[in-house]
Amino acid sequence: MLTGDEVTAVLDRQTAVMEQVASGAALPEVLDSIVLALEELMPGSRCSVLLLDEEGTLRHGSAPTLPAGYSAAIDGLVPGPLAGSCGTAVHLDAPVISEDVSTDPRWARYRELAARYGLAACWSSPIRSRSQVVGTFAVYRGAPYQPDRRDQELVRRFTHLSSLAIEHDRAAEEREARHRAELARQSAERANLAKSQFVTALSHELRTPLQSITSFTENLQTLDLSPDQRRGALQRISVSASHILSIVDDVLDLARVEAGAMPIDLQDVDVHAEVAASLDLIEPLAVRRAVAIHRSGPSVAVRADRRRLRQVVLNLVSNAVRFSSSNTTIRIDTEAAEGVARIHIVDEGAGIPQDLMARLFVPFDRLGADAGREGGAGLGLVLARRLTEAMGGTLELDSVVGVGTHAVVTLPAAPPGVEF
């Protein structure tokens, strides 16, 4: 049995280990401390802990002083009636003492391995947690050995300590898993809510042009309209239909890019050429609004999908034009940086209040802006951002009320040497 001094020594070590557990140390570290503490109390012993995984296989847990080659060979041990001391101890759910592994039949398969690493005796005890075997605690010796009652008492205490450490670790893991499941549930709930809000907003957005089509069609059918009035009605129907079509196109693009199903054809692309192509489409509106567009910056080449890059630039520049007052200037500037290229689109419009910035990328949210004559559905920015991200880039917006808005598209640069 243990002497009074030994009991004190054991208690000291147990306390140190429990403090380590309480401070949140990782399980391998705690098991190493337990093993080293027992080795100190049982000179000449080398100990190890194996842990049972979900498949019922024994995996390395801790063996700070056993040869690494031996531990690696034992890792993955499958319990059974003739599986050395540890595998047999799990199989029998009882301690297995092999006083001499060179003659013990349970060691027949591992005898050579043990001899190669100078291990002659091995005694293994199952570690239990919540009445289940969760691993083994093994004590090896360099010569045949029979444990005495003191050894048995020490191993009993340290096996118990290991089981507490493992239990604590599993409980923490379970808490962590529950937490993750809760986060996943919340995020699914949020996604669901976002989806139904999206559908509500989409229906709302489609209703106005559809009502307009319905009422003008009815007028055409029931009223005796003059040729001018008929032309006007048909014109309104056509505008509403185009509006619906553009919303549907954007919604489909958004759905595809969010599902990761948008085909993206990455090529080396000359930014100035694509900006120029986008500007061709927006120039008439800029002229109508008396907004000047200035371009500057070096020629830069990016990896991008030509069509999608134009779509992004068009969205951003059309915002800049639509939300600028007349006689202001929009600047489009290119910049080459480490591995990336940037396109800056800076306007002198009204700017966006800080508290609304978070809603910029919410579909159908126009931040209170009227859809107006050339107004959009509030899909442009979210789509532009998703498209840019699908090309491996980012889109950021910065805005100061009364000063203007600054959009930055960052895309991976084309490989060095690509020039246009």
Residues that bind ligand ATP (CB under 6 A): 315, 319-320, 323, 347, 349-350, 352, 360, 366-367, 369, 376-382, 405
Of 126 and 378, CB closest to Mg ion = 378
Among 61, 95, 363, 376, binds Mg ion (CB under 5 A): 376
Using CB under 5 A as the binding rule, whether residue 61 contacts Mg ion is answered as no
Nearer to ligand ATP, 66 or 317 (CB): 317
Q: CB 293 → Mg ion: shortest distance, Å?
A: 16
Q: Which does 349 bind (CB under 5 to 8 A by kind): Mg ion, ligand ATP, none?
A: ligand ATP
Instruction: Choose the contact partner of 378 out of Mg ion, ligand ATP, none; CB within 5 to 8 A by kind.
Output: ligand ATP
Of 148-156, 158-166, 356-364, 370-378, the segment contacting Mg ion by CB under 5 A is 370-378
Residue 209 interaction partner, one of Mg ion, ligand ATP, none, beta carbon < 5-8 Å per kind: none
Q: How far apart are alpha carbons 303 and 418 in whole angstroms?
A: 10
Q: Looking at residue 78, what DSSP letter applies?
A: P
Report the partner that residue 135 touches, choosing among Mg ion, ligand ATP, none (CB closer than 5 to 8 A by kind): none
Residue of minimal CB distance from Mg ion?
380
* Distance in Å, CB of 321 to ligand ATP, minimum: 9
CA–CA distances in Å: residue 219 to residues 153, 205, 210, 227, 234: 99, 23, 14, 13, 10
Q: How many CB atoms lie within 10 A of CB 129?
A: 18
Separation CA 63–CA 39 (nearest Å)? 11
Q: Does 349 bind Mg ion (CB under 5 A)?
A: no
Beta-strand ranges (E) seen in 299-403 are: 301-304, 328-337, 340-346, 394-400
Residue 111: how many CA atoms within 13 Å on its side-chain side? 12
Q: Give the three-class secondary structure for 347.
A: coil
Integer Cα distance of 89 and 97 in angstroms: 9
Shortest Cβ distance from residue 338 to ligand ATP (Å)? 27
Q: How far apart are the first and last CA of the chain?
A: 87
Tell me, by CB under 5 A, how many residues bind Mg ion.
Answer: 3
Per-state percent for the chain, helix, strand, coil, to nearest 5: 50, 20, 30
Site residues, Mg ion (CB under 5 A): 319, 376, 380
